[in-house]
Amino acid sequence: MRWIIVVLVFATSAFGQTMPTRIQPDEAAKHLVRKTPAAYPPSAELARIQGNVILEIAIDPSGQASARRLVTGHPMLVQAAIASVDQWRYQPFEVNGKPVTALTFVMVTFGNPANHDVEDRAEILFQNDFWNAIESAQLALGKGDFSDAEQQLNRARDFLAPVSDGRHNVPERWRLMTTMGHVAMAQNKDDEAEQYYQKALALRQNDDKDAPATAATLAFLSDLYLKEKRYDLARDEAGHSLAIYEKNFAKTGSNNLSARQDYGRAVAYESWTLSKLASQQDNSIEAARHCRKVLDFQTFLAASDRDSFVSTCERAIMEKK
């Protein structure tokens, strides 16, 4: 499903992309200029299923909305909610006078679920506060401000602590653990970083071993082991990560360009990591093999990396001919 690819947002800084601007839900609602009503699924209506579907949405620079991630909602109502939101339009959001991609949370209501409104609005508030803190930590980390990054992560942990219904045990706790791992690794606290990554991996492996977030965590561990020159472990984790990304790329339809871009980019970067590892271990055959995949997926690379990756890999392949 389309919104599942959101777990790949972990890679925004690693892949050289700009982090979207997060907008408070109440503020975003003031910019809404067209809200298409959700069509009540006949089967759900017949079964008297009512409820709210909470979605994280992206609003592109033109103001077009699209569902990005399912937060919560009855399975029989989710697709109708997504179909509705995908037709919403907003007045574009701007930063420094330029339109930007924005993120926010919305609630799509079916029937009259009055008993859940208070709980669901609290959920939206939690989501907004938690992800604001996480993204602030990521921005601080990018600036090398480790003290601020740790403060923001403590805020995120405080927001998460009261949650006891289990709904947030996977995506939110996974993101908290991996971001804490990034901050520790950036400060050369490698043992601490490894512990955080292993905890994140355990969360995801209990959920879905082939989930993109599992692949992401394995890639983080690979980067850590590469830094520590533990090359065999780095190769194993990168290889496992690559296999998961390839599997997700293969099963994503050509009509889902966003997902294919995300998975294709991940395949290219993990193949690049494996080619570097092979070169460092003087295994030119393996380096060339992984470089061929980099070239196969080069269109998915960030422009800032494409030329250097391609030229290096072309040389590696030519040397084996």
Mean pLDDT of the chain: 88
The residue among 92, 123, 91 whose CA lies nearest residue 107 is 123
Cβ partners under 8 Å of residue 7, min gap 6: 171, 211, 212, 213, 216
The residue among 127, 108, 143 whose CA lies nearest residue 19 is 143
316 pLDDT exceeds 70?
yes
177 contacts 203 by C-beta, under 8 angstroms: yes
Pick from 96-110, 178-192, 193-207: least confident: 193-207
Domains present along the chain, CATH in parentheses: 1-112 (3.30.2420.10)
Q: Specify the higher pLDDT residue, 28 or 15.
A: 28
182 pLDDT exceeds 60?
yes
Query: Count of alpha carbons within 13 Å of 21, Cβ hemisphere only?
Result: 17
The residue among 166, 183, 265 whose CA lies nearest residue 220 is 183
270 contacts 241 by C-beta, under 8 angstroms: yes
For the purposes of burial, counting CB atoms within 10 Å of the CB of 171, is it exposed (0-12), middle (13-18) or buried (19 or more)? buried
Each residue's pLDDT tens digit, 240-274? 999 999 999 999 887 778 788 889 999 999 999 99
Coil/strand/helix, residue 208:
coil
Q: How confident is the model at residue 60 (pLDDT cuts 50, 70, 90)?
A: very high
Q: How confident is the model at residue 166 (pLDDT cuts 50, 70, 90)?
A: low
Angle between helices 257-280 and 284-296 (to 10 degrees): 160
Q: Specify the higher pLDDT residue, 266 or 317.
A: 266
Where does 25-70 have alpha helices with state H? Answer: 25-30, 42-46
According to the model, what pLDDT value does residue 4 have?
33
- Please state, in angstroms and rounded to a whole number, the distance separating the CA atoms of residues 63 and 92: 4
- Please state, in angstroms and rounded to a whole number, the distance separating the CA atoms of residues 46 and 9: 38
Share of the chain above pLDDT 70, in %: 90
> If you count them, how many residues does the chain have?
321
Coil/strand/helix, residue 179:
helix
Distances in Å between the Cα of 91 and the Cα atoms of 34, 104, 178, 310 are 9, 14, 34, 40
**Per the structure block, which two tokens stand in for 65?**
């909305």
